[in-house]
Structure 1
Amino acid sequence: MKSRGKGLLFAGLGASLWGSAGVTGQVLMDNYHLPATALSVWRLILSGLLLLGFDYLLHRESLLRPWKDRADALRLFVFAVFGMMGTQYFYFRAIQYSNAPTGTILQYLMSILLIFYTAFEERRLPRGMEISCAILAMAGTFLVVTGGDWHAVKISQAALFWGLLSALAEAVYVVEPIPLMKRYRPSLLVGWGMLAGGVALIPFMDAPITAGVVSFSSLMVFLLCVLFGTVVPFLLFLMSVAEISPGEAGILGAMEPLSSLVLSLLFLTVSFSGMQITGVLVIVAAVVLVSSGK
């Protein structure tokens, strides 16, 4: 297989696996009564340790380099707490009050928030296509939330609140480490972001860290969430951007909400109306259009 073909395959497969994180997370919360906070803490800490271990085995360099520079350490702290921790915790909170595909779809609105951030950074107004895509995404969100009927809201206000917060945190997660990416490897930054974010969330836990049903099956689901919903997709993304552009990899990220929707329909007692599925497709189309720059 040619390099570009492998890159496209890795990016698509990684995004599809990322969609499984919400599904396994919902199973852990619904079936094994694992609170969203404990799930976020354990997932972040274990995933961070695995990524840092992978980085060290591959490069054999000090893992503490980002913390030795005061300015870099401060930016990494902001990335870990307001980006990484917020992204994971708010995401699972949204799922807790709705379901995996809804939480994933709301978080995916992050790409639209980045339109306005980019315009602000470049000191310009959003372009016509960018505004059109933002309107398209809001229309898709309306269909997901209401099913096309103003008087029949399909998700709770709490789910919408946490979902939009997760989109904002995801935007911070994308933007904050950009200067650091010029000096440190992504696996090093994300590994520390996950580990530090997980540790920072511990004091805010609303249930014991050992809460939930501990059994062989719950441990297996949790390992699936960590390995195939977090670590492996990230490594696949790193492998993909070595062969294709980050923009192309980002476009293939549209597989994530679709994957979450399909897996939920197959394995969970989740039902979406035709109008809600249309809303999902509208949001994905909006993000693909703006990511491709067309």
Structure 2
Amino acid sequence: MEETVEKSGERAGGRDAERRRVVRRGIVATLVGGTFWGLNGTVSKWLMDAYAIDPLWLVCVRELCACWLFLAAAAVTARGRSQLAGVLRSPRDLLVIAGVSFAAILFSQVAYLEAIDWTNSATATIMQSLGMVLVLVYVCLGMRRGPRRREVVGVCLALAGTYLVATGGNPSQLNLPVEGLAWGLACAVSAACLAILPAAPMARWGNFTVNGIAFLVSGAVLSALYRPWEHMPALDAAGVAVIALCVVVGTFGAYALYLQGVRDAGSMRASLLGTIEPVTATIASVVWLATPFSAPELLGFALIIAMVYLTA
């Protein structure tokens, strides 16, 4: 009897240790994915300014190129090929992934661009960060519990840090007409969708398979509506190389890692840790333009780093 109890305790301890390892992997993946997103934003802004690239053209190219990277990555392993073949034989799961494509990928990119157009990048970033509040509400309703103290503190630190990093502590940087408010709230909803919707299909079909199909559907629909071939920019070799970097690192790498973080660490934790994105974007911009950090920005960095420590 004692032996049975001891073995049962060992198995439970082993499961707990494995779960902690998976969560730590998810935390690292989310932070690296958010960092890639931040770098991608700075590089994309440079591309649009230097080559007069339309934002929607860049979105189309990134999605239609990255989708094949995801599908190729899924096809590398026997398990990935099995998952890819399995989902293609399941109309119901394809419909679920199509929902992820529209609500979590296409909607998030269009809403963010429209929010920037009606307001500015600082306001859009802050509005987008409200998505973590929606994720917290969703998690609490789904688990039928109240928010934990650590979650509430984490959300407050993340929101305050994002505000300081995005605006430099200057409220005049905010611009919120009615249309901007609507698109900003749409940003928050789409950010919450990105942290919630892919989790279930990824658990069954894998990260690369779900992302590959979702990006293919999103890119195809957006291309049919926007027709990027009618908006081709004049690119030199450097421009093509930077676009390739945006596709491989800023899209394939960023989404693969962030959504792996959603799967491993959970929607709430990933949503909070994703606020590393504006920190990375600000640091990249400062390094690129050789401008000094302001005191509010440094305080914002400190708050977000404190949130990361608290969340991890």
For 2:210 and 2:250, the matched residues in 1 are separated by 18
What is the rounded CA distance, in whole Å, between the counterparts of 1:240 and 1:140 in structure 2? 21
* 1:23 partnered with 2:28: no
Q: CA deviation at 1:47?
A: 0.4
2: distance between equivalents of 1:177 and 1:123? 21
Q: Distance in 1 between matches of 2:240 and 2:284?
A: 20
The equivalent residue for 1:267 is 288
What pairs up with 1:1-294 in 2 under 5 angstroms? 12-59=31-78, 60-61=81-82, 63-93=84-114, 98-99=120-121, 107-144=128-165, 147-150=168-171, 152-154=172-174, 162=183, 164-205=185-226, 209-234=230-255, 246=265, 250=270, 253=274, 255-268=276-289, 273-279=294-300, 281-283=302-304, 285-286=306-307, 289=310, 291-292=311-312
**Amino acid aligned to 2:53:** L
Q: 1:84 to 1:137 in 2, by over 3 A?
A: same
Structure 1 residue 188, shift from structure 2 partner: 0.4
TM-score for both structures, normalised by structure 1:
0.76
Partner Cα separation in structure 2 for residue 277 and residue 168 of structure 1: 28
In 2 relative to 1, CA 45–113 (structure 1 residues): closer, same or farther, beyond 3 Å?
same
Query: How far apart, in 2, do the equivalents of 1:249 and 1:226 lie?
Result: 26
Are residues 272 and 160 of structure 1, via their aligned partners in 2, closer, same or farther at CA, if it must alter by over 3 Å? farther
- Following the alignment from structure 1 to structure 2, what is the Cα–Cα distance between the partners of residues 69 and 43? 27
Indicate how the Cα distance of structure 1 residues 281 and 213 shifts in structure 2: closer, same or farther if over 3 A, else same: farther
Larger Rg computed on CA atoms = 2
Whose helix proportion is higher, 1 or 2? 2
- How far apart are residue 22 of structure 1 and its match? 0.8
- Secondary structure at the residue paired with 2:245? helix
Q: 1:226 to 1:207 in 2, by over 3 A?
A: closer
CA distance in 2, matches of 1:192, 1:282: 37
One-letter code of the match for 1:68? R
CA distance in 2, matches of 1:106, 1:30: 24
Deviations 1:60-87 (A, max 9, x none): 4473532432321221111001111122
Q: What fraction of aligned residue pairs are identical, expressed as a percent? A: 28
Measure the CA separation in 1 of the matches of 2:167 and 2:115.
16
Deviations 1:176-195 (A, max 9, x none): 12221232011100111111
In the aligned structure 1, how far is the partner of 2:50 from the partner of 2:273?
31
Q: Residue 175 of structure 1 aligns to which amino acid in structure 2?
A: I
Q: Are residues 255 and 125 of structure 1, via their aligned partners in 2, closer, same or farther at CA, if it must alter by over 3 Å? A: closer
* Unaligned ranges ≥5, structure 1: none
| SS of structure 2 residue aligned to 1:183 | helix
Post-superposition CA distance 1:229-254 (Å, at most 9, x none): 12234556689899xx5369947655
TM-score, normalised to structure 2's length?
0.73
Q: Judge conservation of contact 2:161–2:301 (CA < 8 Å) in 1.
A: yes
How far is 1:136 from its partner? Answer: 3.9
Tell me if the contact between 2:158 and 2:304 (Cα under 8 Å) persists in the aligned partners. yes
After the TM superposition, which of the residue ranges 271-280 and 194-203 deviates more from structure 2?
271-280
Cα drift, residue 34 of structure 1: 1.2
In 2: Cα distance, 1:287 partner to 1:159 partner? 29
Q: 1:144 and 1:218, CA in 2 relative to 1: closer, same or farther beyond 3 A?
A: same
1:56 Cα deviation (Å)? Answer: 0.9
Cα displacement string for residues 245-271 of structure 1 (whole angstroms, at most 9, x for unaligned residues)? 536994765543322211111124877
Q: Which moved more, 1:200-209 or 1:75-84?
A: 200-209
**Which SS does the other structure have where 1:63 is aligned?**
helix
Shift of 1:134: 3.5
